[in-house]
Amino acid sequence: MAISTGERRDEILNIALCEFAERGFVATTMEGIAEKAGFTKPILYNHFINKQAIYEEIMSVTASRILDSLARATSSAKNPRGIVETAFRVYFDLLVSETPAFRFLFLHSHESEMASQLRVIESQMTSFIEDLISVDLDGEHRRQLSAAVVGMAEGAAISWLVQQESLGWPTPPTDSAEVLASRIATFAWGGLRAVTRS
Protein backbone atom coordinates (compact mmCIF):
# COMPACT_ATOMS: atom_id res chain seq x y z
CA MET A 1 0.00 0.00 0.00
CA ALA A 2 1.36 3.41 -1.00
CA ILE A 3 2.13 5.93 1.75
CA SER A 4 0.12 9.14 1.46
CA THR A 5 1.74 12.56 1.47
CA GLY A 6 0.24 13.26 4.90
CA GLU A 7 1.52 9.98 6.34
CA ARG A 8 5.01 10.58 5.00
CA ARG A 9 5.01 14.10 6.40
CA ASP A 10 3.95 12.78 9.81
CA GLU A 11 6.69 10.14 9.62
CA ILE A 12 9.28 12.84 8.91
CA LEU A 13 8.05 14.93 11.84
CA ASN A 14 8.17 11.96 14.23
CA ILE A 15 11.68 10.99 13.19
CA ALA A 16 12.88 14.59 13.28
CA LEU A 17 11.38 15.03 16.76
CA CYS A 18 13.45 12.13 18.06
CA GLU A 19 16.57 13.48 16.33
CA PHE A 20 16.08 16.96 17.77
CA ALA A 21 15.35 15.50 21.21
CA GLU A 22 18.50 13.37 21.08
CA ARG A 23 20.92 15.73 19.35
CA GLY A 24 19.51 19.25 19.59
CA PHE A 25 18.81 21.65 16.74
CA VAL A 26 22.41 22.47 15.78
CA ALA A 27 23.66 18.88 15.53
CA THR A 28 20.61 17.55 13.70
CA THR A 29 20.93 17.53 9.90
CA MET A 30 18.60 17.02 6.97
CA GLU A 31 20.89 14.17 5.91
CA GLY A 32 20.49 12.50 9.30
CA ILE A 33 16.72 12.83 9.25
CA ALA A 34 16.52 11.39 5.72
CA GLU A 35 18.77 8.50 6.66
CA LYS A 36 16.71 7.65 9.75
CA ALA A 37 13.53 7.84 7.65
CA GLY A 38 15.03 5.53 5.05
CA PHE A 39 14.69 7.72 2.01
CA THR A 40 16.68 10.26 0.01
CA LYS A 41 17.19 13.93 0.77
CA PRO A 42 15.20 15.03 -2.33
CA ILE A 43 12.12 13.30 -0.88
CA LEU A 44 12.68 15.11 2.40
CA TYR A 45 13.04 18.45 0.61
CA ASN A 46 9.75 17.78 -1.21
CA HIS A 47 8.06 18.18 2.17
CA PHE A 48 10.25 20.72 4.02
CA ILE A 49 12.58 23.38 2.65
CA ASN A 50 15.04 23.06 5.55
CA LYS A 51 15.40 21.80 9.12
CA GLN A 52 14.17 25.12 10.50
CA ALA A 53 10.81 24.51 8.79
CA ILE A 54 10.65 21.04 10.36
CA TYR A 55 11.59 22.46 13.75
CA GLU A 56 8.94 25.18 13.58
CA GLU A 57 6.22 22.70 12.60
CA ILE A 58 7.13 20.36 15.45
CA MET A 59 6.98 23.31 17.85
CA SER A 60 3.56 24.29 16.52
CA VAL A 61 2.18 20.75 16.66
CA THR A 62 3.55 20.17 20.17
CA ALA A 63 2.12 23.45 21.47
CA SER A 64 -1.28 22.69 19.94
CA ARG A 65 -1.32 19.22 21.49
CA ILE A 66 -0.55 20.59 24.94
CA LEU A 67 -3.05 23.45 24.76
CA ASP A 68 -5.82 21.32 23.23
CA SER A 69 -5.36 18.65 25.90
CA LEU A 70 -5.49 21.27 28.67
CA ALA A 71 -8.58 22.91 27.20
CA ARG A 72 -10.48 19.62 26.92
CA ALA A 73 -9.58 18.49 30.42
CA THR A 74 -10.20 21.75 32.29
CA SER A 75 -13.54 22.39 30.59
CA SER A 76 -15.14 19.75 32.83
CA ALA A 77 -13.48 20.81 36.10
CA LYS A 78 -16.02 21.86 38.73
CA ASN A 79 -14.14 24.48 40.78
CA PRO A 80 -10.93 26.55 40.79
CA ARG A 81 -8.88 23.96 42.67
CA GLY A 82 -10.15 21.25 40.34
CA ILE A 83 -9.01 23.30 37.37
CA VAL A 84 -5.53 23.72 38.84
CA GLU A 85 -5.17 20.03 39.68
CA THR A 86 -6.55 18.90 36.32
CA ALA A 87 -4.30 21.23 34.34
CA PHE A 88 -1.16 20.01 36.10
CA ARG A 89 -2.20 16.36 35.79
CA VAL A 90 -2.73 16.68 32.04
CA TYR A 91 0.54 18.55 31.61
CA PHE A 92 2.60 16.00 33.52
CA ASP A 93 0.80 13.08 31.88
CA LEU A 94 1.98 14.49 28.55
CA LEU A 95 5.50 15.00 29.95
CA VAL A 96 5.79 11.35 30.94
CA SER A 97 3.99 9.83 27.94
CA GLU A 98 5.56 12.07 25.29
CA THR A 99 9.01 12.62 26.77
CA PRO A 100 10.78 13.23 23.40
CA ALA A 101 8.52 16.22 22.75
CA PHE A 102 9.40 17.76 26.12
CA ARG A 103 13.09 16.97 25.68
CA PHE A 104 12.81 18.81 22.38
CA LEU A 105 11.06 21.77 24.01
CA PHE A 106 13.07 22.22 27.17
CA LEU A 107 16.48 20.58 26.94
CA HIS A 108 17.59 21.76 23.51
CA SER A 109 15.56 24.80 22.47
CA HIS A 110 17.70 27.17 24.53
CA GLU A 111 20.89 26.21 22.70
CA SER A 112 19.89 27.34 19.24
CA GLU A 113 18.65 30.29 17.27
CA MET A 114 15.19 28.74 17.59
CA ALA A 115 14.89 29.60 21.29
CA SER A 116 12.35 32.32 20.44
CA GLN A 117 9.92 29.58 19.41
CA LEU A 118 9.85 28.33 22.99
CA ARG A 119 9.00 31.85 24.20
CA VAL A 120 5.97 31.79 21.89
CA ILE A 121 4.73 28.54 23.43
CA GLU A 122 5.29 29.88 26.94
CA SER A 123 3.29 32.98 26.05
CA GLN A 124 0.46 30.83 24.70
CA MET A 125 0.45 28.75 27.87
CA THR A 126 0.42 31.90 30.01
CA SER A 127 -2.58 33.25 28.09
CA PHE A 128 -4.39 29.93 28.57
CA ILE A 129 -3.78 29.92 32.33
CA GLU A 130 -4.70 33.60 32.55
CA ASP A 131 -8.21 32.76 31.32
CA LEU A 132 -8.57 30.12 34.06
CA ILE A 133 -7.76 32.40 36.99
CA SER A 134 -11.11 33.52 38.33
CA VAL A 135 -9.78 35.97 40.92
CA ASP A 136 -10.77 39.62 40.37
CA LEU A 137 -7.36 41.09 39.51
CA ASP A 138 -6.09 43.72 37.12
CA GLY A 139 -4.66 42.47 33.82
CA GLU A 140 -0.99 42.87 34.70
CA HIS A 141 -1.38 41.06 38.03
CA ARG A 142 -3.32 38.20 36.42
CA ARG A 143 -0.71 37.86 33.66
CA GLN A 144 2.16 37.73 36.15
CA LEU A 145 0.46 35.03 38.23
CA SER A 146 -0.26 33.03 35.08
CA ALA A 147 3.38 33.28 33.99
CA ALA A 148 4.44 32.10 37.46
CA VAL A 149 2.20 29.03 37.20
CA VAL A 150 3.64 28.21 33.76
CA GLY A 151 7.15 28.70 35.16
CA MET A 152 6.46 26.24 37.97
CA ALA A 153 5.25 23.61 35.53
CA GLU A 154 8.18 24.16 33.20
CA GLY A 155 10.72 24.15 36.02
CA ALA A 156 9.38 20.89 37.42
CA ALA A 157 9.33 19.35 33.94
CA ILE A 158 12.94 20.34 33.27
CA SER A 159 14.04 18.99 36.66
CA TRP A 160 12.35 15.66 35.90
CA LEU A 161 13.86 15.49 32.41
CA VAL A 162 17.37 16.21 33.72
CA GLN A 163 16.95 13.50 36.33
CA GLN A 164 15.75 11.03 33.69
CA GLU A 165 18.68 11.95 31.45
CA SER A 166 21.18 11.41 34.29
CA LEU A 167 19.73 7.92 34.76
CA GLY A 168 19.94 7.06 31.05
CA TRP A 169 16.25 7.57 30.24
CA PRO A 170 14.76 4.61 32.14
CA THR A 171 11.07 3.76 31.90
CA PRO A 172 9.51 6.06 34.51
CA PRO A 173 7.43 4.66 37.38
CA THR A 174 3.75 4.42 36.49
CA ASP A 175 2.80 7.05 39.06
CA SER A 176 5.37 9.66 37.91
CA ALA A 177 2.84 12.04 36.38
CA GLU A 178 0.48 11.74 39.33
CA VAL A 179 3.25 12.47 41.85
CA LEU A 180 4.52 15.49 39.90
CA ALA A 181 1.02 16.87 39.42
CA SER A 182 0.09 16.45 43.08
CA ARG A 183 3.22 18.19 44.32
CA ILE A 184 3.11 21.17 41.97
CA ALA A 185 -0.67 21.58 42.04
CA THR A 186 -0.65 21.71 45.85
CA PHE A 187 2.08 24.35 45.80
CA ALA A 188 0.40 26.40 43.06
CA TRP A 189 -3.03 26.21 44.68
CA GLY A 190 -1.62 27.39 48.01
CA GLY A 191 -0.27 30.51 46.29
CA LEU A 192 -3.41 31.20 44.27
CA ARG A 193 -5.65 30.70 47.32
CA ALA A 194 -3.55 33.24 49.24
CA VAL A 195 -4.20 35.74 46.44
CA THR A 196 -7.95 35.22 46.75
CA ARG A 197 -7.74 36.08 50.47
CA SER A 198 -5.61 39.22 50.02
- Cβ contact 30:50 at 8 Å: yes
Give pLDDT tens digits for 113-126.
Answer: 566 777 888 888 88
149 has pLDDT over 70: yes
Q: Which residue type, as a one-letter code, is found at position 110?
A: H
111 or 47: which leads in pLDDT: 47
Q: Which pTM does this prediction carry? A: 0.81
- Cβ contact 133:145 at 8 Å: yes
pLDDT bracket for residue 187 (50, 70, 90): confident
For the chain, give the mean pLDDT: 85
pLDDT bracket for residue 1 (50, 70, 90): very low
155 has pLDDT over 90: yes
Pick the CATH number of 59-197 from 1.10.357.10, 1.10.630.10, 3.20.20.70, 2.40.37.10: 1.10.357.10
pLDDT bracket for residue 197 (50, 70, 90): very low
pLDDT value at residue 198: 47
Give pLDDT tens digits for 74-96.
Answer: 888 777 778 888 889 999 999 99
**Looking at residues 4-26, what average pLDDT do you find?**
87
With a CB cutoff of 8 Å and minimum separation 6, the contacts of 144 are: none
Between 46-50, 101-105, 110-114, 143-147, the lowest mean confidence (pLDDT) is in 110-114
Alpha helices per DSSP H over the chain:
5-27, 30-37, 41-47, 51-74, 80-97, 99-102, 115-132, 139-166, 176-197
